[in-house]
Structure 1
Amino acid sequence: MPTAMPTPIPASPSSASSGTAVWRTRLLVAGLVLAALNLRPAITSLGALLEEVRTGLHMSGTAAGVLTSVPPLCFAVFGFAAPRLARRFGPGAVVLAGMVAITAGVALRSFAGGAPLFLAASACALMGIAVSNVLMPVIVKRYFPDRVGTMTGLYSMSLALGTAGAAAVTVPMTGAMGGDWRLGLGVWAVLAAVAVLPWLGLVLVRDRSAERSAAPAVAAGADTAAAEPGAGLRLGRSRTAWSLACFFGLQATGAYITMGWMPQIFRDAGVSAGTAGLLLALIMAMGVPLAFVIPRMAARMRHQGPIVVALGLCGLTAYAGLYFAPAAGAWLWAVLLGISNCSFPLALTMIGMRSRSGAGVVRLSAFTQSFGYLLSIPGPLLVGVLYQHTGGWGLPIALMAAFLVPQMLAGTFAGRDRTIEDEALMRD
């Protein structure tokens, strides 16, 4: 990791002193890291305690499958709204609202007396995660244009750390608090509340007109943004955009199946609840170093296809192991799944690389993540249905492996050295 802090795009032509710029940069980096730490604990903490939540709220396997499908549904629906909200209020204010929503949702669902209220509170938290998901690559592209790989790696590494940490400590922490799953889930609201602080500071010191001038790509409704090459792109006609959305959606399918069901797979194979949580933590922890390395590696390559294929093959090997020897090789399968799940930071990096303009990245990020998450919705639900009706994990695991084949094909196509602006020129 570089020791020198990257310099952001100035907030306005009349930026104050260099000291103010450095302070703002540090606050922005802190905000990115803390936001990323909070983008998955609401999901992986639930995965670690899914059996207890199902019992406490009297959920069937199908209902639990619906619950594990809620994250991508919320990400798709609210992801579409993120660019418009950013144009209206500014990206910093939207991320701030996202952190507040995560805090409120995670806290409130610990008081839920039934499945409907639990789902509603979870949806509130996931709404905050959704808008932040879309805007993180945008903020990186606008404020750190010469460090996209490095800053995406830092953000992705923090996201993986939060994901792994929640998976690892939720079960033992719940046990230490008396075994109440409500406390085990609700405690993560504290981490989300901490993430509110740097974004609140950035919003309070921001001059609205200066931010519009600093981030024309986010303020796409302004005249300056309309002049950017990516502002008027029709992504529905872009093969690169669709292939990137398919790649993103299929990797998200695998990720949410893993976060929602993998601890249960291990527990049904005879692994204890605490060890199953640690195995999920290991899967997510693999992303801590790799999420920093892979984006930097990808940013130096003209074609990211070889990385896509290598990650997919790791996943196929892991699923084969889970099918034939889930408990005996559990730690090895967890390592391989963790490597395969690093398709997420790779997809984020490719979003930044497949457009030459900030406005293009805004549109491509929203398009890719929203359509991608829509595509990922059926996967966790299908796993729950198959699990309930077959009573085992053979068919669900085969389904998980099957998803990796089109994922590798779509990712290889999306990894070609071209931009959405290039495609628009070729059509014209």
Structure 2
Amino acid sequence: MTTLRAAQPSRLHGSGLMLAAIVLVALNLRLAITSVPPLLERIGEDLHLSRAWTGALTTLPVLCMGVFAPVAQRMAHRLGRERATAVAMAVLAVGTAVRWGGGHLVLLYLGTLLAGFGIAVGGTIAPGIVKEYFPEHVGLVTAAYMLAMMGGAAVASGVSVPLANALSSWPASLASWTLLALLGTALAWPVARRAAAHRTASGGSAEQRLPLPWRHPTAWLVAGFLALQSWQFYSELTWVPPFYQAHGWSATRAGLLLSVFSAMQVVSGVAGPVVAHRVHDRRPLLVASVVSVAGGLLGMLLAPEAAPWVWVALLGLGLGSGFALGLVLFADYSLTPAGSSRLSALAFLISYCLAAAGPVVVGALRDATGSFQLPFTILLVMLVPQAAAAMLLHPRRPRTP
């Protein structure tokens, strides 16, 4: 009953306010990452960095999303989920602003680290907030969350190069997203204060602090699926533009290709949870997402110039639906909102720490072989265990506490 009373702030102060906060937070969770790949070649040339080091600019926030996931869960326990999210948005704004000095290597990576911390905390806590405030509409609210997050990612990747050209500075382009982070912070704080005030007034008690579900087989299965999905996503997000630049494409055109990649994630990221809301067994949807990625990779490997927009669209559709359905799994396989946060913390810790190596490994293999053929073939092979994990996620699996 305490959990049900804790969900009342959305009713007292309007579900619209909490939904707006969730959407605005989600909008900020990929901007600092997807704004980088179209500029990687320029950054590498200006700072004299290898492809492995430039790949680390997307690897670092992904690693943060894993390492700081348990920290996010502890912050949520001590501060409350809403207040911890507000803190995350503030740190993200600072990190994005620091990138203005990205011409200095230390500031570029420091800003990326701070932004990664904010993304990690906000992204880990969000599933618990959705389950608490919208327990009967998890799929639909997750769809709105994905629309904002992937829509922002698509815009950032598409306008990153034009912004750098207009401002005559790629650091200014990266730092321009500070404005949206500040807006997210400005909305998150009053929501946090209202939620805290209502819990105090209604006598809501703090939830029992439990350890992460390390020994729960379902938690490991969810984490395994997301680890393979995230390795695919961040590797392809980072290296699809350079892949086509190696085929003679301009940076601007390759950035537009990445926008299609992100736009298709918006489509499937919204459609996936909406369909999942009506389907009891998620496995067919999960497997379909893997098959879509396989089609895109095969096309890029065998005939990259034949239909590049189609190949990238298939990648985006598969990766967007795979991640969105992964977020739905946190609610599916947990008993409480706090349990959803613990499951997401464990899954993000494992999946993002492993996936963080993806862009660096692909970049290093590209440098070593002089071609993307080998690293992209490895990505294709990795889809086999991902499909196997999806098939094991049947609806009767036990839920985590």
TM-score in terms of structure 1 length: 0.87
Alignment correspondent of 1:205: 194
Alignment correspondent of 1:251: 229
The verdict on how the C-alpha distance between 1:147 and 1:384 changes in structure 2, with shifts beyond 3 A counting, is same
Deviation at 1:195, TM superposition (A): 0.9
SS of 1:326's equivalent in the other structure is coil
Alignment correspondent of 1:399: 378
2:88 maps to 1:109: no
Alignment correspondent of 2:216: 238
2:51 maps to 1:73: no
Deviation at 1:296, TM superposition (A): 2.3
* Counterpart contact for 1:9–1:144, Cα < 8 Å: no
CA distance in 2, matches of 1:11, 1:417: 28
Alignment correspondent of 1:304: 282
Please tell me the residue identity of whatever aligns with 1:357.
T
CA distance in 2, matches of 1:187, 1:330: 30
CA distance in 2, matches of 1:367, 1:234: 6
| Within-5 A mapping of 1:11-30 | 11=6, 21=11, 23-30=13-20
Moved more, 409-418 or 242-251: 409-418
Alignment correspondent of 1:151: 141
CA distance in 2, matches of 1:12, 1:401: 43
The verdict on how the C-alpha distance between 1:211 and 1:45 changes in structure 2, with shifts beyond 3 A counting, is farther
The verdict on how the C-alpha distance between 1:317 and 1:215 changes in structure 2, with shifts beyond 3 A counting, is farther
2:389 maps to 1:410: yes
SS of 1:341's equivalent in the other structure is helix
Deviation at 1:417, TM superposition (A): 2.9
Match of 2:109 among 115, 119, 124: 119
Deviation at 1:12, TM superposition (A): 8.1
The verdict on how the C-alpha distance between 1:12 and 1:239 changes in structure 2, with shifts beyond 3 A counting, is closer
Alignment correspondent of 1:4: none
Once the two structures are superposed, residues 84-122 of structure 1 have per-residue CA deviations (whole angstroms, 9 ceiling, x without a partner) of: 111111111111111111111111112034333311110
| Within-5 A mapping of 1:151-230 | 151-178=141-168, 180-208=169-197, 210=199, 222=206, 225-226=207-208
The verdict on how the C-alpha distance between 1:371 and 1:215 changes in structure 2, with shifts beyond 3 A counting, is farther
Please tell me the residue identity of whatever aligns with 2:160.
T
The verdict on how the C-alpha distance between 1:145 and 1:111 changes in structure 2, with shifts beyond 3 A counting, is same
Please tell me the residue identity of whatever aligns with 1:75.
M
Deviation at 1:138, TM superposition (A): 0.4
Deviation at 1:154, TM superposition (A): 0.8
Alignment correspondent of 1:219: none
2:344 maps to 1:370: no
Alignment correspondent of 1:353: 332
CA distance in 2, matches of 1:188, 1:332: 29
The verdict on how the C-alpha distance between 1:42 and 1:232 changes in structure 2, with shifts beyond 3 A counting, is closer
2:309 maps to 1:331: yes
CA distance in 2, matches of 1:214, 1:322: 57
* Counterpart contact for 2:7–2:132, Cα < 8 Å: no
Unaligned runs of 5+ in 2: none
CA distance in 2, matches of 1:317, 1:109: 36
Once the two structures are superposed, residues 25-57 of structure 1 have per-residue CA deviations (whole angstroms, 9 ceiling, x without a partner) of: 222111111111110010110111111111122
Deviation at 1:276, TM superposition (A): 0.8
Deviation at 1:348, TM superposition (A): 0.2
* Counterpart contact for 2:218–2:398, Cα < 8 Å: yes
Moved more, 276-285 or 166-175: 166-175
Moved more, 112-121 or 312-321: 112-121
Please tell me the residue identity of whatever aligns with 2:193.
L
Please tell me the residue identity of whatever aligns with 2:362.
V
Please tell me the residue identity of whatever aligns with 1:167.
S
Deviation at 1:161, TM superposition (A): 0.4
CA distance in 1, matches of 2:136, 2:247: 47
Alignment correspondent of 1:390: 369
The verdict on how the C-alpha distance between 1:289 and 1:23 changes in structure 2, with shifts beyond 3 A counting, is farther
Deviation at 1:352, TM superposition (A): 0.7
Aligned-pair Cα RMSD in Å: 2.2
Count of residue correspondences:
398
Once the two structures are superposed, residues 208-257 of structure 1 have per-residue CA deviations (whole angstroms, 9 ceiling, x without a partner) of: 571696876xxxxx4xx33xxxx657622222110100111111111111
Please tell me the residue identity of whatever aligns with 1:322.
M
Alignment correspondent of 1:60: 50
TM-score in terms of structure 2 length: 0.93
2:269 maps to 1:291: yes
Once the two structures are superposed, residues 127-176 of structure 1 have per-residue CA deviations (whole angstroms, 9 ceiling, x without a partner) of: 00000111110000011111111111111111110111101111122222
Please tell me the residue identity of whatever aligns with 1:327.
E
* Counterpart contact for 2:39–2:161, Cα < 8 Å: yes
CA distance in 2, matches of 1:285, 1:89: 35
The verdict on how the C-alpha distance between 1:345 and 1:213 changes in structure 2, with shifts beyond 3 A counting, is farther
